[in-house]
Homo-oligomer: A and B are copies of this chain.
Amino acid sequence: MGVPPRFEPVRPVRAYERIVEQIEDRVYRGLLAPGERLPSEREMMAQFAVSRSTVREALRVLESGGLVQSRPGDPRGPEIMPFSPAALRKSVTRMVQVDEVGLGELVQFRMLLESSANLLAARMASAEELDAMDEALAAMTAAIDRGYEEFSRADVAFHDTVARASRNTLIEVCSDVVRGVVLGLISHKIAHSPDQRELMEQSMRHHAEVLDAVRSRDGARASRLARETLYAYYAGYVSEAERPMLRALLEE
């Protein structure tokens, strides 16, 4: 009404960006599905009417986003890739690297993600998914004697199963990403911990409790257990200044 219509600042659009847009658009519309192939660089050079360097810049950008993958000498052309959380993981990793976020915030975020995942899993999990959790828990138990590496893999599998049972892909993917970043920051500390075996046994008991709550369809308890367990595990690695932030999620 009283607001004068204003123009937007323009940034020169480079040739390779137009190519990226066109290809992204086709993928989004489903006209180009994972597994299918893009034309060869020389073919695209002709279709887009640009030089090969320009085509290659576009391909490098698409590749860094995980949308395509090109391999030398492959006459079938660059491959359209299925979705992968790799790009998301890189973004979060960068936030951590440039000190935009610290370990405390990561753990806090993981607490709220897993808390929600457990709540939803308790409500939604199918019999098959409960069985899968059983298996994952058994794998954890068996892995205690085989070292932290193996135990960590089984632990990840358990959390993955629960997250998938939440029936929310965003929760699933974000949990995976944040868990990966947290482990990347402190897994070496755990791996060299003197009371490593006790940590694993304690973890196993906590996971058994979670599974029990999920199976009993007790979402509130499963949710609370997630927060408590994560706090018990990671609070020691978080600076004292950030610890009250984590406790805020416990006293609900």
Q: Which residues of A contact B (CB under 8 A)?
A: 1-3, 12, 16, 24, 27-28, 30, 53, 56-57, 60-61, 64-65, 67, 72, 83, 87-88, 90-92, 94-95, 97-101, 105-106, 108-109, 112-113, 116, 119-120, 123-124, 145-147, 150, 167-171, 173-174, 178, 219-220, 223, 245, 248-249, 252
Contact = CB atoms under 8 A, between A and B. Distances in A.
Contacts of A150: 3
Oligomer copy total = 2
Contact of A101 (B28, B113, B170): B170
B1 A105 contact: no
A16 B64 CA distance: 11
B83 A27 contact: no
B167 A245 contact: yes
A87 B248 CA distance: 30
B170 A106 contact: yes
A101 B172 CA distance: 11
B83 A65 contact: no
